[in-house]
Amino acid sequence: MLRRLYERILALAGSRWALPALAAVAFAESSFLPIPPDALLGPMVLARRDRAWLYAFVATAGSVLGGILGYAIGYYLAPLGIKLLSMMGHSGGLESFHVWYAKFGLWVILIKGLTPIPYKLVTIASGLAKFNLPMFIAASIATRGARFFLEAALLQHPKAKAIVDRHLILLLALGVLLVVIAFVAVKLIG
């Protein structure tokens, strides 16, 4: 099943829908959807190494724009933002994020933007905490850009596709493990 999904995403990379699909997933992940854009970005770069930087740029732009929507949800629609955070396992909502931002400020965005933790947590929480919007956007560009361009650079290597093809299940398992560790770390710190 995973192999078939991987093959379909590789095929998508060659279609005219590749860029809009990547932009839409990156946008939605930063504000409300639980699917990370890496699920499209990785296979798309593997399928079209010559477009790696374009794909990384589109993922970054979509993620930052979606992040602005997430920020707006937290800022202007606080009850909805708190409910969304609660649905994602952060029932402390506003209070816990105010503590995070009081302690760590900009570092919350910079660190969480690079991790596999769903970015919508950061975007909505930043709006709830009324974090400085221009600083939020700059930090989002820096962290999301670093993440997606690094991923594109690694997967652009000529041997990357052969390695991923050979070890797809192991790499996916490691990815899931990394996400679980990140969630546990957030729970322990927060």
Q: How far is CA 103 from each of CA 46, 97, 98, rounded to the nearest angstrom?
A: 40, 10, 9
**Nearest Cα to Cα of residue 14 among 47, 39, 41, 46:** 47
Amino acid at 22: L
Position 106 scores a pLDDT of 72
Measured in degrees and rounded to the nearest 5, phi and psi for residue 178 equal -60, -40
Q: What is the pLDDT of residue 173?
A: 64
Give me the pLDDT at residue 64, please. Answer: 96
| Residues 63 and 145: beta-carbon distance below 8 Å | no
What pLDDT shows up at residue 164?
65
Which helix (H) or strand (E) is 61 found in, with range?
A: helix 52-76
- List average pLDDT for each run of 10 residues in the chain, which is 190 residues long: 72 83 92 82 88 96 96 92 77 65 72 70 87 93 93 84 66 64 60
Map residue 127 onto helix, strand or coil.
helix
Helix ranges (H only) for the chain are 2-13, 18-29, 38-47, 52-76, 78-87, 93-104, 106-114, 119-128, 133-155, 160-166, 168-189
From residue 160, alpha-carbon distances to 47, 81, 150, 167 in Å are 10, 39, 13, 11
pLDDT score for 70: 94
Tokens linked to 117: 């933790």
**What integer pLDDT is reported at residue 83 of this predicted model?**
85
CA distance 154 to 37: 16
In 3D space, the residue among 152, 127, 147 whose CA is nearest the CA of residue 137 turns out to be 127
**Where exactly are the structural domains of the chain?**
2-189
